[in-house]
Structure 1
Amino acid sequence: MDQKIPYDDYQLPVVFLPSYENPPAWIPPQERVHHPDYNNELTQFLPRTIVLKKPPGAQLGFNIRGGKASQLGIFISKVVPDSDAHRAGLQEGDQVLSVNDVDFQDIEHSRAVEILKTAREIVMRVRFFPYSKLFFTISDQKYIYI
C-alpha cells in the first residue's frame, strides 16, 4: 500500500509543474522539409555582422540585457521598429558576440552600455539565439535603451 508523504516532510525542494498542454500534431520526417511549421534553415543561427552609424545625440534603437553577472553574455532584448538597428537586421534574441573588436561574451553590462553609447560607428558580430528569454527574468535585469 502506497502512503503519500506530506509536503512538509519532503527533504528536497518540491517543484510543481504547470499542466501539460497538448503537443502539436506529429508530422512524418519526410513531410517536414516542405511543411510550413518547420524551419530547416539553420544558417539563421550563424554569426553575422551588423554595421551601425550613430550621429551625435542619436539613438540606435535597441535594448540590451545580460552581462558578466548573468554568465550568459549580452543579448538584444528589444529592437525599435523602423530604427537604424531594425533596418540593419538586428533582431530580438540576437546574442552580441563583439562590438568594434571588443569581446562581449564575458563583459559587464555597464561596460557594454558604455561602448555602445560612446561609439560613432559600431561593427557588431551577433548570432540569433531565440531561446535567450528563457535565461532572464524581468526582476534581475536592467533595460537600457541605446
Structure 2
Amino acid sequence: MDQKIPYDDYQLPVVFLPSYESPPAWIPPQERIHHPDYNNELTHFLPRTVVLKKPPGAQLGFNIRGGKASQLGIFISKVVPDSDAHRAGLQEGDQVLSVNDVDFQDIEHSRAVEILKTAREILMKVRYFPYNYQRQKERTVH
C-alpha cells in the first residue's frame, strides 16, 4: 500500500502543478519523450531569484496585479520590453513569492506596490505559475 510522504520530507524544491483540465490523447510512454503534447521540462515552474537595482526616480519595468483580496497572490502582469526586469527574466504570469525577504503570498496590493516602489535594490523570489495567474486575472481588477 502506498503511503503519502509528509511535505517536509520531500527533497527541495517541491513543485505542485494543477491537474490537466484537458489532457492530451494517450500516446505510448516510449513515444512521449519527443512528442510535442508531452513536455517533461518542468524547470521553468521552479522558484527562481531575480535581482533588480532601481536608481532614484527610475521605473521598475514591470506591473503587478492581485494581492490578499484575490487569495491567489501577487503576479507580474506586464513586463516592459528591453527593461532591466525583462533582461533579468521576469515574465507575465510570474508569481512574486517574496521581495527583500518580505512574504508576498498573502499581502495587500497597496503594500506590495509600496515595497517595490521604495526599494533601491530588489531581491525577488518568483515562480512561473500561469494557471493561478489566469484565475487571478478573472477575480481582480488591478
> 1:19-58, CA deviations, whole angstroms, 9 ceiling, x for partnerless residues?
9999866543322211234321112111110000011111
Structure 1 distance, partners of 2:38, 2:8, is 45
Secondary structure, counterpart of 2:137 in structure 1: coil
Unaligned runs of 5+ in 1: 133-140
> 1:65-110, CA deviations, whole angstroms, 9 ceiling, x for partnerless residues?
1101111110111111111111001111111000000000000000
* Aligned-residue identity in percent: 91
Range with bigger deviation, 5-14 or 27-36: 5-14
How much is the aligned-residue C-alpha RMSD, in angstroms? 11.2
Name the count of aligned residue pairs: 138
Give the number of the structure whose alpha-carbon radius of gyration is greater.
Answer: 1
Q: CA deviation at 1:4?
A: 46
| Conservation of the 8 A alpha-carbon contact between 1:113 and 1:144 | no
| Conservation of the 8 A alpha-carbon contact between 1:54 and 1:60 | yes
| Conservation of the 8 A alpha-carbon contact between 1:63 and 1:144 | no
Secondary structure, counterpart of 1:49 in structure 2: strand
From the superposition, tell whether residues 125 and 144 of structure 1 become closer, same or farther in structure 2 (CA, over 3 Å): farther
TM-score (norm 1): 0.71
| Conservation of the 8 A alpha-carbon contact between 1:63 and 1:143 | no
Unaligned runs of 5+ in 2: none
Structure 2 distance, partners of 1:24, 1:115, is 42
Secondary structure, counterpart of 1:86 in structure 2: helix
Structure 2 distance, partners of 1:50, 1:7, is 26
From the superposition, tell whether residues 16 and 36 of structure 1 become closer, same or farther in structure 2 (CA, over 3 Å): closer
